[in-house]
Amino acid sequence: MSTDEAFDAAYREHYWAVSRFVARRLDDRTVDVEEVVAEVFAVAWRRRGELPESPLPWLYGVARHTLANTVRGRGRYRRLLAKLGHHEMTRGQRTVPSPDAERPGSWVLEALARLGEADQEVLRLSAWEELSVEELSIALGCGRSAAAMRLHRARRRLRTEIDRLRRSDPVAQGCAGGTAGRTASDKDGRP
């Protein structure tokens, strides 16, 4: 298969997965998901000779870098607007509550939000994108052992944050003696 055909196949097969990946990570509603996805595939087209046999984790890695560039660019844009003076984007921005804020279990999302960006990303790639450790290493641009260790540490930190939130939430404390959400292996000490 030629590189052009490989790119075409990757685009057709993974466009929506990459779109969902980007949409779940964009907090800034002024950035268009389709613009970011278009840039991801533009980079993939330019680097189509590097497309691996299973391109989705590689595309997630490209999307991560594209999102980081987009966020940095938006930050520079806002700072420029602030220097220029009164613009609607520089005025006090309201925070719109997340629709998840009222859902039961939103404390899990809150615990995730308390983690560092690197921990959040490795957990999202593992849970939301359902990547294996091998695929995770490709998306993160690191070795398999490093990816496994980053995932292990992120899960441990998330568990710590969830436990902190449970202790501070009277509703969560009342759920099965504070063991809500734990599996049988958690209860008998197995990882």
Q: Band the pLDDT of 94: cuts 50, 70, 90.
A: very low
Query: What average pLDDT does this structure show over 68-78?
Result: 75
pLDDT of amino acid 45: 92
Give the integer Cα–Cα distance in Å for 167 and 178. Answer: 8
Q: Return the H-helix or E-strand segment holding 92.
A: none
Lowest-confidence pick of 62-66, 91-95, 166-170: 91-95
CATH number 1.10.1740.10 given to 1-94: yes
Query: What average pLDDT does this structure show over 81-102?
Result: 48
Query: What average pLDDT does this structure show over 57-82?
Result: 80
pLDDT in tens, 114-167: 999 899 889 888 888 888 899 899 888 899 999 999 999 999 998 898 888 878
More confident site: 163 or 92? 163
Q: Return the percentage of the chain with pLDDT > 70, whole number.
A: 69
C-alpha torsion angle, residues 155, 101, 27, 111 (rounded to 10): -20
The DSSP secondary structure of 96-162, one letter per residue, reads PPPGGGGSTTHHHHHHHHTS-HHHHHHHHHHHTS---HHHHHHHHTS-HHHHHHHHHHHHHHHHHHH
pLDDT of amino acid 128: 81
Query: What average pLDDT does this structure show over 27-34?
Result: 71
Query: What average pLDDT does this structure show over 10-31?
Result: 84
The rounded mean pLDDT for the chain is 77
Does residue 92 register a pLDDT over 80?
Answer: no
Residue extents of the structural domains in the chain? 1-94, 97-180
pLDDT of amino acid 30: 59
Q: Band the pLDDT of 80: cuts 50, 70, 90.
A: low
- CATH number for the domain whose boundaries are 97-180: 1.10.10.10
